[in-house]
Structure 1
Amino acid sequence: MADMFLEKFRSLVPKYLEDQWNEADGLTTEELREGLSQSKVAIPFVLEEFYLALGNNDDFMEAYHYFFDPEELEIEDGYLLFLEDEEEKFVWGFKASHLEVPDPIVYRRNNKKGTWSSEEGTFSEFTLDMFAWIFEELAAELED
């Protein structure tokens, strides 16, 4: 499959960090395969490209929310979990039955209630919107 999302994710580095993207920002294909072999899960194409673009960049992997490293990915409640908020109140994932969809819909679980709800957007939409919100908040804090 051709790169569908890789350049969009790479473009976040100059957009928000005012720096050029470089290979050290992402995982290598071998690092990603090794991590996935440890977690023993399959991932959607979009998540693969996200890790290849930004998987080593803590400014994105740990920006208010924490993206799981490939070896930490797991399926729970019928969802592949990939992201958690810093207070561990919520976790985000994809339906395990939708992992073959290149850019699946994201769902959020309220950890206290154990209920899942749709974010009504695909992973690429969700992450691009999330980073826009995070970096706008950071810029506003710096202005104060």
Structure 2
Amino acid sequence: MAEMFVDKFRSLVPQYLDDQWVSEDGLSPEELDDALEEAGVEIPLALREFYLTLGGCEDLMEAYYYVWDPEELEYDDGYLLFMEDEDEKYTWGLRVDQLDVPDPIVHRRNNQRGTWKSEEGTFSEYMLDMYSWVFDELEPELDN
């Protein structure tokens, strides 16, 4: 199968970490498959390529929000949960009935209310936009 998102995800390392992407920034297919088997979940192509490309890059996996390690992924409330904020107020997920879509729409749950809201972007779009927000817009505020 052709790699649809790998180049976009790899570009995040030089763009935001001022370093070249290396294979250690990602997980091997075997590592990822073992972790997914442990979690008992299936993931869409975009999330798979994200882990294969950046799953070992702590600086991006824990940049403002925390992308869960693949063995921590879980189904809940009809969603595959993959990320949360530092205070655990919000959790991000992908609808389970859309996991066969290569790049499904991301949804965010308000954990206090238990309500879900579409982020109106696919997984790849959302992650690229999130890193832009964190590194381009939020970084200057953090430096003050």
2:111, 2:141 → 1: CA distance? 29
TM-score by length of 1: 0.97
CA displacement at 1:124 relative to structure 2 = 0.5
Matching residue of 1:27:
27
Unaligned residue ranges in structure 1 (runs of 5+): none
Matching residue of 2:90:
90
How many corresponding residue pairs?
Answer: 143
SS in 1 for 2:117: strand
CA displacement at 1:140 relative to structure 2 = 4.5
Amino acid of the residue matched to residue 70 of structure 2?
P
Q: What CA RMSD, in Å, does the superposition of the two structures yield over aligned residues?
A: 0.8
Residue identity over aligned pairs, in percent, reads: 59
Matched, 1:37 2:42: no
2:12, 2:90 → 1: CA distance? 24
SS in 2 for 1:88: coil
CA displacement at 1:122 relative to structure 2 = 0.2
Matching residue of 2:61:
61
TM-score by length of 2: 0.97
1:67, 1:16 → 2: CA distance? 17
Matched, 1:71 2:32: no
